[in-house]
Chains A and B, each alone.
Chain A
Amino acid sequence: MARIGLRLVERPNAVEASLWRRLRSDADLSCREHLFTLYVPFARAIAARERRRRPANGMERCDFEQLAFGGLLEAIDRYDPLQGAPFLAYAKHRIRGAVADGAARSSEASAQHHYRAKLEAERLSSLRAGQDPSRDALSELSELAALLAIGLLAEHAQQASVAETVSYERHEWRELTLNVVEEIELLPKAERSVMQHHYLNAVPFAQIAALLGLSKGRISQLHRAALTRLRERLRRFD
């Protein structure tokens, strides 16, 4: 049907009320889509305001809008048009809540990501500090990779319950994991402490240093020494 004539007589409030009525009474999902389209600018404006109020934490404008649109859909699905409250007021609260919850989750994930990156940087720095400059680059790289791998193995061994190993893990891998756990227990006390605090509890070197009353540099040395010792001991099982 043509639209100009209809626009002359349609009343926006009545049109919107019709959408709500048909959505609720007839489950007409096209009305849901119409209502969403109608309120996209509103949700977008809230997303922009919320973004200005918060540090980015790696979130872009589209991320805020996605959260706002999710809140808008939820509001549309839950709103009762016969309760009397205008939809704008009802939806504003839900959209802001959705953006706030999403931003908090992103912030936590971002914080965890940064924390993990910090730990990995510490490990790499610790291992590179003890490298022998007279050795060729390939040998150094090979040793570095091996020590990092031992560290990851230690992290896996410390954090996963041996009883929970999944069926797809090979027998040899599970044996190696068990060996790492046992060998860590046999390390000298200081090296054992560094390995357990860092790989089991994800404690940064600075805090381990404070815990053990040592310098951060000494912790770094102990870390490298522990991985080198583990590598030697694990060779016995080849």
Chain B
Amino acid sequence: MSVQCDDRELRNVLQAVQAQAPNAIEQIEALLGNCPQDPRLHFLRGSVLIGLGRHIEAHGALSQAVALAPDYDIARFQLGFFELTSGEAGNALQTWKALDRLPETDPLPKFVHGLTALIHDDFEACIQLLREGIALNAENEPLNRDMELVIDRCLPLIAPDAPEMVSETSLILGQLGARPGDASN
């Protein structure tokens, strides 16, 4: 049993998820049966479970991805973000601590600092830092959209006349193309 599944198989199941196939979660779990140590599959499973509203299982899957690959930075960031949106701000900050090692050119520390500013109600700092992270992030468009959503919610609090843009949070998929341990996921 290999640690990681074949890239082709991963791409196939990614396509099933993007196409919103009704048995997408079953396909992921079938692959996991062959490659239970592949953190990418756990991360993908967690992302799909979030979309299905199965939050308890989602947290378990994301946590497993990070446990298997502590340097899987995007998975760690998304686990922390999930914890933040689940009312676990303290756990989110703890989860994100390992991302402090990343260089200034990496968008993830900017996002972490921006969300930390949000936790402390420093909305201007939050908006600035998130925008800086968005500018550095050319590879992960869904993540940028998530951060833009947060910005949109902060804007009315610093400029009451600014229009509030509302849109759906996108599924986290672009991050899965990278392998754990890559410098920029």
Contact = CB atoms under 8 A, between A and B. Distances in A.
Contacts, number: 68
Contacts of B84: 6, 9-10
Nearest to A15: B87
A4 B157 contact: yes
B57 A11 contact: no
Contacts of A3: 121
A10 B56 contact: no
A2 B121 contact: yes
A17 B56 contact: yes
B155 to A, nearest CB: 11
Interface in A10-37: 10-11, 13-15, 17-21
A137 interface: no
B58 to A, nearest CB: 8
A14 B118 contact: no
B154 A18 contact: no
B45 interface: no
A5 B53 contact: no
Nearest to B93: A1
Interface residues of A, number: 20
B85 A14 contact: yes
Interface in A87-135: none
B130 to A, nearest CB: 12
B87 A1 contact: no
A85 interface: no
Contacts of B118: 5-6, 8-9
A82 interface: yes
A10 B87 contact: yes
A81 interface: yes
Nearest to B123: A5
Given A5-B118, A5-B123, A10 B57 contact: no
Given A5-B121, A20-B56, A21-B56, 20 more contacts: A1-B119, A5-B117, A5-B118, A5-B120, A5-B122, A6-B87, A6-B118, A9-B84, A9-B85, A9-B150, A10-B87, A11-B85, A11-B86, A13-B53, A14-B85, A17-B59, A17-B86, A19-B87, A21-B55, A81-B56
Interface of B: 53, 55-57, 59, 82-90, 115, 117-123, 126, 150, 153-154, 157
Interface of A: 1-6, 8-11, 13-15, 17-21, 81-82
